[in-house]
Chain A
Amino acid sequence: DAKTTQPPSMDCAEGRAANLPCNHSTISGNEYVYWYRQIHSQGPQYIIHGLKNNETNEMASLIITEDRKSSTLILPHATLRDTAVYYCIILAGANSKLTFGKGITLSVRP
């Protein structure tokens, strides 16, 4: 599976949109972009995934560039409870082994 690059940390103000970037320049055509997050002292939680089209669900939106070499996870109205480590992961399919990198630590400030 392709590797990802994420900045180590970022912060945003409560109520504002949080835009979390991820680079995956070696992604293959059959590989999906997944996002998980881990809130302190809890196990990771699935957020969203996509192949090439932008995706939206009740938690977040995923914007994938046309060349698929990067993506952005958007939390439209960040709350203090969104403070967590966010992992961008590339998977070849539903049966692929899922491993976690270092992720990006998002701190939402009041």
Chain B
Amino acid sequence: GAGVSQSPSNKVTEKGKDVELRCDPISGHTALYWYRQRLGQGLEFLIYFQGNSAPDKSGLPSDRFSAERTGESVSTLTIQRTQQEDSAVYLCASIIQVQTKNEQFFGPGTRLTVL
């Protein structure tokens, strides 16, 4: 594909349900980020995958959040027992790192609404 894709584009769920968000990065990009952006707020770092290294999970807000990445391809972000404060746009970015340049390419995001 030409860019980063995310699915679903919109997700409405009831409080307490689990949700799974998917990110398909650009082929060949070794690094992948997940961010969260609440309405009117800045981007909040969640998790970072870099090649075969252990992921940097320091941004995950609670143990209800987890993410996996298969090799250098698809990543899924799972939120268990969703709460209303989880409502946000979840953005995925894949990164090409060429010499000194760290350029992130963002997907369109998944808008999660927890009722």
Contacts and interface: CB of A to CB of B under 8 A. Distances in A.
Interface of A: 32, 34, 36, 38, 42-46, 49, 51, 85, 91, 93-103
Contact of A97 (B45, B107, B109): B45
For chain B, the bracket of interface size reads 20 to 34
6 contacts: A36-B104, A43-B108, A85-B42, A97-B45, A102-B42, A103-B42
B100 interface: yes
B97 A44 contact: no
Contact of A34 (B33, B35, B91, B102): B102
B91 A43 contact: yes
Main secondary structure of the interface of B (DSSP, over half): strand
A42 B43 CA distance: 12
Contacts of A42: 106
A95 B31 contact: yes
Interface string B85-108: 000000101010111111110111
Given A49-B101, A94-B102, 5 more contacts: A96-B102, A98-B95, A98-B102, A100-B42, A103-B42
Given A43-B91, A43-B93, A43-B107, A95 B43 contact: no
Contacts of B14: none
A6 B60 CA distance: 26
B56 interface: yes
B33 A98 contact: yes
Nearest to A93: B100
A95 B103 contact: no
B48 interface: yes
Contacts of A45: 106
Interface string B47-81: 01010000010010000000000000000000000
